[in-house]
Amino acid sequence: MLNIHPQYIKDTAGKNLVILPQKEFDTLMEELEDLEDVRLYDAAKKKDTGERIPMNEAFRAIEAKRKNKK
């Protein structure tokens, strides 16, 4: 579980703002990135048909696309 210590302030327009120590903010951002990776992985697994191609064939296709973009 994340242990954060937010501070709440208001800006000059009266809008509420939250301040976090840098280390806590960085940790929070890393956790969000990890959750996004899990979400993307889960979405990819749902679309997985089980079809696979050999690695060298995939590399050739990637290289061909890269050369065509130039």
**pLDDT value at residue 69:** 79
> In a structure prediction context, what are the per-residue pLDDT tens digits for the chain, which is 70 residues long?
789 999 999 999 999 999 999 999 999 999 999 999 999 999 999 999 999 999 999 999 999 999 887 6
**pLDDT value at residue 11:** 96
Rg of the Cα atoms in the chain: 22
Distance between CA atoms of 13 and 18, rounded to whole angstroms? 15
**pLDDT value at residue 12:** 96
Per-domain boundaries in the chain: 22-69
Whether pTM > 0.75 for this model: the answer is no
Q: What is the DSSP letter of 50?
A: S
**pLDDT value at residue 2:** 81
> How distant, in Å, are the alpha carbons of 38, 60, 61, 65 from that of 53?
24, 11, 11, 16
Residues 6+ positions from 20 with CB-CB distance below 8 Å? 4, 5, 6, 7, 28
